[in-house]
Each structure stands twice: as structure tokens, then as C-alpha cells.
Amino acid sequence: MFICYKKTYPWSACGLVTVLLVAGIWLLSAVAVHAAEVDSFTNRHALADSGPQLNGIVNKWLEEAIAEANKKPLFLIESDREGIGYCNQEQLLAALQDKLTGFIVGKLEARVMEDKTLDTIKVEFDDSIYRDLVFAESPTISLTKYLAVLLRVGDVYFGADKFGHFFSEGFSYYEMYKNGDEHSALQFGDLTESTFYGELTTGIFSYADLAANLNGLRFWNRILGLKPDPLSGEKVIRPYVQCVDKKWQLAAPFAWEEYVDPAWDEAVNCNAFKNRSLLEKVKKRIAEASNGGTCPLYPVDRGLLEEKYGDLLDYVYNPGGNRVLDEPLKPKIEQYWSTILGRLKTSPLFQ
């Protein structure tokens, strides 16, 4: 027997309790950073365009990932068939994931947060519109006090956290899109924003995150162009990567301007909150930070967004102001677990 947290347990039980507590704290911290928020209102001012510099970084990473994917694996099956002896799609996607995504913090987000040559706005938690949120309401924000910086690409201001959404969640969307359609991917995004990366952990449901996720799906789909663009429904004309002379080659340059739009900006694509207490606290601080302003902070041409997103716009855009979420969280969690259980039942491992 062993004394653990002032209670007597068998040694194995005490060890399990300790492991679970440590794992729980680590997981909450990991999700906390992954579910980072941005203050798009406080100290908002004109910024230089970071687009050209960020385009250069991503194109360099794409080239490095392609070079890695072209290396012959240790246990290569000798074959003259594409996809087996050369230009393996799984190997390419794995190399790109390794280069572009991150487990806790997205790699480009981390680069932007540390890069002093980029013109950004950093707001400390205690000065932010979220400073009144407490642990019981928003455990992850109040625990880490981590806020992404604000930057500008083209004419659009958005948080560096959107890079993680674009590459990491965008890839999850792509995996679903390959086997389903864009609506399945959007439902998955709604669920994650309602649980692990949003409403459940931060108390905030970010439509701008969903816009970045959807555009990330478009990016990953354009790597090889195997399916139509999820927004236009048209065939991808210029995939980023093509197999030429039995090697992967970068066939088209990447540019953030092809993906970023005002729906990425949380000052105009307004967040929803899980309860009225959170809503009122944040709205009060937004007004203080913007001389009595509110969300949306400035008008956006909805017609241009409709032209881009079509019937998917309402999934990712809320110009009607900050509000309390319409739907309760519980049904979404039940939907999540029923989906997980359904997959387990159909898995060959459980037959």
C-alpha cells in the first residue's frame, strides 16, 4: 500500500492516478496552445505586408519536402511503376506534413511568433480582450495566457494561429474530403471548433478558424489535384507538385494571397461564445479597445466572399456580430463519440 494524495492506494493504483493527472495536465496544455486565440482589436494599427516573406518561407519548405520525398526508402521495392518505384504519393504527403504541420504549435505560426523581421502586433493576455476570462469559463486561455500575434497579408489582418489551422486542420479536412465531400470536412471542422480547439476548451467558437481550415483543404487538394477544388468544383489546372522524369517537382509557386481573405479576420468575421457571461466580458473589452467599436469592426464586401465560397459561406462566416452559440454543445459531443464508436465497430481490428 502507498499514500498518494492523502489517500491509501495500492502502489499500481497510485501510479495510475499520478500518470493520469500528469497526462491530463500535459494534454490540456497541449490543446491549450493548439487552441490559441488572437486579439484582433487591441492596439490595431497599420502593418507592413508580410505576404512576400511568408510566401518565400513556404516555397522553400515545399522544395525541401519534395527533395525528401524523392529520396529512395531503405526498403524500396524495385519497380518501374509510378507510385511504387518512384513518385510515391504517401511518401510525398508524409514529407509535406513533416515540414508544414506541428503537433502542438504549427511550424509557420511558431516561426512568425519568433521572427523579429516581420511587422506584427503582439498583445499580452493581461491587456487583451480576453483578460477577464477565468479558468472555469475558458480553461486553456487562462491557463497558458498564450495569444497569437496579428499580422497582415495583402489587405487582410489575421492571427498567426490561422497558419496552424490552414496546414494541420486543413490536412484533416483533406483526409475527409478524399473519402467524402466538402460538407463532411466542414462538419468535422464545426465539431473540432466546438470541442477540442474552440468552444469546449476556450469558450470561443471561431468562424475565422473554420475559414482557414477550409482554405487549407484547398491547399492540400491542390498538391496533386486529385479531386476538384472544393469551392469552385472545377478541376485543379496547376497542381503544386507533379511527377516529372520519375521525380516529384514543384510545378507551381505557393502564394498566401490565393487563400487569405477577410473571413480570416476575427475583427470582421465575428466569434461566437458558449454563454452570455463570456460574450458580455469580451464585448466590453472590444468596445474599450476600439473606441466604442464592435464586431464587425469595418464593412466587408459580402458579394466577393459569396463569389469565392458560394453555398459554403455560411459555414465559415459570421458578419452578424459576436453572439452566444445557437446550438448546445452536448449533441455535438454525442455526435463525435457515435462517429468514433461507429468507426471502431467497422474496423477489421474488432471483427
Where residue 1 falls among pLDDT bands split at 50, 70, 90?
Answer: very low
Question: What are the residue boundaries of the structural domains of the chain, listed by start?
Answer: 1-34, 38-350
Q: Beta strand pairing status for 323-324 and 37-38? A: unpaired
Lowest mean pLDDT of 63-67, 79-83, 145-149, 343-347, name the range.
343-347
Q: What is the pLDDT of residue 200?
A: 52
Q: Beta strand pairing status for 147-148 and 323-324? A: unpaired
| CB atoms closer than 10 angstroms to residue 233 | 9
Instruction: Say which residues have a Cβ less than 8 Å from residue 269's Cβ, sequence separation at least 6.
Output: 207, 208, 211, 262, 263, 296, 316, 317, 318, 319
Q: What is the pLDDT of residue 332?
A: 46
Say how many residues make up the chain: 351
CA–CA dist 98, 93 (Å, integer): 9
Grid cell of 86 as nine digits: 518512384
Element (H, E) at 82: none
CA–CA dist 66, 330 (Å, integer): 43
Q: What is the pLDDT of residue 157?
A: 98
Q: Are 47 and 120 in contact (CB under 8 A)?
A: yes
Q: How far apart are the first and last CA of the chain?
A: 40
* Cis check: omega of the bond before 296, within 30 degrees of 0: yes
CA–CA dist 149, 131 (Å, integer): 16
pLDDT tens-digit readout, 25-79:
334 433 444 457 899 999 999 999 999 999 999 999 999 999 999 997 765 566 6
Where residue 158 falls among pLDDT bands split at 50, 70, 90?
Answer: very high
Half-sphere exposure of 105 (CA within 13 A, CB side): 17
- Of residues 45 and 187, more confidently modeled: 45
CA–CA dist 146, 149 (Å, integer): 10
| Mean pLDDT score across all residues of the chain | 81
Q: What is the pLDDT of residue 195?
A: 45
Distances (CA, A) of 253 to 60, 99, 104, 248, 290: 10, 16, 27, 14, 38
pLDDT tens-digit readout, 283-341:
999 999 999 999 999 999 999 999 999 988 988 999 999 999 876 544 444 444 344 34
Lowest mean pLDDT of 133-137, 219-223, 228-232, name the range.
133-137
